[in-house]
Amino acid sequence: MRIFEQNSFYMIHVLGHNHSIIQQFITEIRDKEVQKDRMRFRRNMERMGECIAYEISKQLTYKMKDVETPLGMASCWQLDEDVVLGTILRAGLPLHYGMLNVFDKADNAIISAYRKHSSEVDFEIEIEYMSSPSLEGKTLILSDPMLATGMSMVSAYKVLTVQRGQPSKIHVVSVVASEQGLEYVRKYLPQNVEYWIVVLDPEMNAKSYIVPGIGDAGDLSFGEKLE
Ligand code: URA
C-alpha cells in the first residue's frame, strides 16, 4: 500500500494482504487455542520474522563478488548495506531472532520499553536499558510485534537515534498494528521510514490493547509477569 499525503510518499507494506504462508502463521498467532502452546507461539513469531526479513531483503542493495567454487569462478551478489536489527524487550525477542536468522551478519540494538501506569488506563513509556552500535549511515530495521499506541516505537527510535546517530534507511516492523498506532508513528517518525506490517486492526480497548489483536505478546512468549 502506498499512501500519498502532503506531497510525500509513505511506504506501508501490509504483508497479510497477499496470499502466502504468512497468513497461516498469523492465523495461529491469533488463535487462543494454539496460543496455549508457548513454544509454537514463539516459533511462529520467529518464522514471521524470517518471512518479513526476506521481504525487506528485496529492497536492499547488493554488490557483485567473484566467488571460487570447486569447479570455477562464479559472479555472485552480496548484501551491500550495514544492517542493524533493533528490537524492544521483551516481546520483540522471538521476532528479532527470526530476522537475525536471515540477516545473520547484522549488528543488534536492544532496547527496553515498558508502560509505567499512573492509573488503570493511563501510562507513559519508560526506557531503562539500551545497547546499540553506531547507527550513523546504517540501515536500521526496528521491530516490535505489536504497534498499539505507537508510543514505544517512537520512544525507542528517539533514544536510539539521539544516542547512536542517524541511520540512512529505516524499516519499522510490526506483526499487528492498530490504525491509531500507525497514524501516531507516521506523525513522529521521519518520512522516509518504510513500514512492514502483517495485519492492521481497527481498534484498541480501554487498556490500549489491540482488538482483535492477539493479547499480550510478551506474556504469550514468556509467561505472565507481576505488574
Ligand atoms: N502489547 C501487546 O502485547 N499487545 C497489545 O495488544 C498491545 C501492546
| Range 2-61+79-215: architecture per CATH | 3-Layer(aba) Sandwich (3.40)
Which residue, 97, 95, 99, 61, is CA-closest to 79?
Answer: 61
| Predicted pLDDT of residue 156 | 98
Residue 42's SS3 state is helix
Residue 181 Cβ < 6 Å to ligand 1: no
The pTM of this model reads 0.94
Cβ of 146 less than 6 Å from ligand 1: yes
- pLDDT (0 to 100) of residue 226: 85
Tell me which of 30, 125, 146 to substitute to probe ligand 1's pocket, judged by most ligand atoms within 8 Å of the beta carbon. Answer: 146
Q: How far apart are CA 120 and CA 3, in angstroms?
A: 35
- Ligand 1 atom with the shortest distance to the CA of 148: 7
Sites in the chain below the pLDDT cut of 50: 4-8
Atom of ligand 1 nearest to the CA of 91: 3
Q: Where are the beta strands (DSSP E) in the chain?
A: 2-5, 8-14, 62-69, 72-79, 83-89, 107-112, 114-117, 123-126, 130-131, 139-143, 146-147, 169-178, 194-201, 203-204, 210-211
pLDDT digits (tens, 9 = 90+) for 61-120: 999 999 999 999 999 999 999 999 999 999 999 999 999 999 999 999 999 999 899 998
φ and ψ at residue 157, rounded to 5 degrees: -60, -45
Residue 6's pLDDT is: 43
Residue whose C-alpha cell reads 498506532 in the numeric block: 181
Contact 35, 5 (CB under 8 A): no
Distance CA(90)–CA(165), nearest Å, equals: 24
Domain locations in the chain? 2-61+79-215
Compute the half-sphere exposure of residue 204: CA atoms within 13 Å on the CB side of its CA.
18
Q: Is the CB of 210 under 6 A from ligand 1?
A: yes
Q: What is the pLDDT of residue 81?
A: 98
Number of Cβ within 10 Å of residue 37's Cβ equals: 12
Question: Rounded to the nearest whole angstrom, what is the distance from the C-alpha of residue 209 to the centroid of ligand 1?
Answer: 5
Q: Is the CB of 199 under 6 A from ligand 1?
A: no
Residue 91 near ligand 1, beta carbon < 6 Å: yes
Contacts of 74 (CB under 8 A, 6+ apart): 66, 67, 68
Residue 92, ligand 1, Cβ within 6 A: no
